[in-house]
Amino acid sequence: MRTVGVEEELLLVDPDSGDPKALSAAVLARAAQDDPEQDVFEKELYGQMLEFATHPQSEMADLGAEIVRCRKEAARHAGELGCTVAALATSPLPVSPSISMNDRYRWMAEQYGIATQEQLVCGCHVHVSVESDEEGVAVVDRIRPWLPVLAAISANSPFWQGRDTSYASYRSRVWGRWPSAGPTELFQTAERYHRQVADMVGTGVILDQAMVYFDARLSATYPTVEIRVADVCLRADTAVLVATLARALVETAARDWRAGRPPLDHSVSLLRLAAWQAHRCGLEQDLLDPVTMRPRPASEVLRSLLEHTGDALGGSGDAARAEEAVAQLLRRGNGAREQRLLLERTGSLRDVVTECVRNTQE
């Protein structure tokens, strides 16, 4: 069975005001002091962010338990310094990001100017194991049209600098300013994939292959496909659903490749439109059908995703749980919908952050 790991970026906030706090260096130091061998928490570009990475898991229940544990550990370390964590993909309240300066981040600040100053966004990256680069590239080619559906499920960033953006995932709009971000054309072979990455680095526009921010890419560190389209999810169970569907998409794509079934040949232009629709509307309106690239109700597109990955979900024992999780998501809504309902109920973005802090650790 393919293993899955999740990286989550959390927002550090004041527990009373909800304002982001640039305390990541201090939180990381406290975590290292408590456990010098810890390999979970990592430094990010901004002082208001804290990242953790789970270990690879085969069972989704184990992955969910580790996400919850890591979130609670992050909150504990942050709490010792007078702040806490929130699984919010953007800060609802105004913020001036504080860049964590090292040579790499200093280069990015000089290269990209104001865009670097405006990139305080938190994502969720899912790593799914693959057997080889050839299999990985075949997977990347075949999952392309389904990635906007994962983005719609995870959408959790409706507010930006104290305003409603009218997007379900405004994080994606900010993230898209990086020159290497977004969907990709068909690569067909690992050799062509690696040549394109080398050519991109060779331009000097990006620093290295770690800055190739494809929606899905081969990990430079692990034998995995890394899927990078999701907002950090407000609730841990939504993150588990995204990871479950991501693994099923990878397994389905690998089976199609081995069976000689070609990928859908949608243009990058159409894939960008599908992504924009998912980021704008989340699950509230139509999505673009991954096969036809025509509008369909979001609930029907989610049903198509479950059908597309049905054999893989059944093989891993995840089918019933995925069905139940999708049904619950459609009833409750994604993080963007929950945030807007909280604002409607409380009238205060500060109260939205406070409630999201609680939901983060459930």
Judged against a pLDDT cut of 90, whether residue 37 lies above it is answered with no
Q: How confident is the model at residue 43 (pLDDT cuts 50, 70, 90)?
A: confident
Q: Render pLDDT for 230-256 as a digit per residue (tens, 0 to 9).
A: 999 999 999 999 999 999 999 999 999
Do 13 and 83 meet the contact criterion of CB atoms below 8 Å apart? yes
Q: Render pLDDT for 12-24 as a digit per residue (tens, 0 to 9).
A: 999 999 999 999 9
Per the structure block, which two tokens stand in for 207? 């620093």
What Cα–Cα distance (Å) separates residue 122 from each residue in 37, 44, 45, 291, 328?
Answer: 25, 10, 11, 29, 24
Separation CA 218–CA 150 (nearest Å): 18
Per the structure block, which two tokens stand in for 257? 């490749």
The type of residue at 215 is D
Fold for 4-354, please state it.
Answer: Creatine Kinase; Chain A, domain 2 (3.30.590)
Judged against a pLDDT cut of 80, whether residue 39 lies above it is answered with no
pLDDT at 117: 86
Separation CA 215–CA 227 (nearest Å): 6
pLDDT at 332: 97
Separation CA 34–CA 28 (nearest Å): 10
Q: Span 287-305, mean pLDDT? A: 98
The continuous run of DSSP H or E covering 49 comes out as: strand 49-53
Judged against a pLDDT cut of 80, whether residue 36 lies above it is answered with no
Q: What is the mean pLDDT of the chain?
A: 96
pLDDT at 352: 98
Per the structure block, which two tokens stand in for 76? 């504990």
Q: How confident is the model at residue 58 (pLDDT cuts 50, 70, 90)?
A: very high
- Alpha-carbon 352 to chain mean position: 21
Residue labelled with tokens 């969907």: 183
Separation CA 122–CA 81 (nearest Å): 21
Q: Span 301-310, mean pLDDT? A: 98
Q: How confident is the model at residue 101 (pLDDT cuts 50, 70, 90)?
A: confident
Sign of CA dihedral 251, 193, 104, 173: negative
pLDDT at 38: 73
- Exposure string (b/e) for 119-133, b if CB count within 10 Å is 16 or more? bbbbbbbbbbbbeee
Q: Render pLDDT for 157-213 as a digit per residue (tens, 0 to 9).
A: 999 999 999 999 999 999 999 999 999 999 999 999 999 999 999 999 999 999 999
* Percent of the chain whose pLDDT exceeds 90: 93
Strand partners of residue 261: none
Per the structure block, which two tokens stand in for 101? 């300066």
Judged against a pLDDT cut of 90, whether residue 34 lies above it is answered with no
* Percent of the chain whose pLDDT exceeds 70: 100
